[in-house]
Amino acid sequence: MGRGIMGVAKQRRYCPEDDRMVLAEKQTPNHLLHLLLSVLTLGVWLVVWIILIIGADLGAYRCPHCGARTRSSPPWGWKPRRRRRDEYEEEDED
Ligand SMILES: [Zn+2]
């Protein structure tokens, strides 16, 4: 479990730079921690929380390999290249 103020959301998306599907990552606020901090600071922390939520929504899912912005789906007609083990190390197969 992440203990920082930011967590990471992961989603399967298409990376145009690598021309393949990747497990894209996006920074997202750790809401449980922010709720706790907001209570402890009598609501003052809500300002930080809201800023982080807005920032996370604006932030795109990015490719963990090249850092490029990913797309929700590949182009029409796109087919994955032949799978190679070394290219798909990010897949959680085990
Ligand atoms: Zn990439």
pTM, rounded to two decimals: 0.63
* Mean pLDDT for the stretch of residues 8-14: 93
Residue 57: is its pLDDT beyond 90? no
Nearest to 13 by CA among 72, 81, 58, 66: 72
Contact call for residues 28 and 21 (beta carbons, < 8 A): no
Measured in Å, residue 90 CA sits from the centre of ligand 1 at 12
What is the whole-number distance in angstroms between the Cα of residue 51 and the centre of ligand 1? 28
Ligand 1: centre distance to CA 91 (Å): 14
- Rounded to the nearest whole angstrom, what is the distance from the C-alpha of residue 54 to the centroid of ligand 1? 25
Give the model's pLDDT for residue 17.
Answer: 95
Confidence of residue 92 (pLDDT cuts 50, 70, 90): low
Mean pLDDT of 12-25: 95
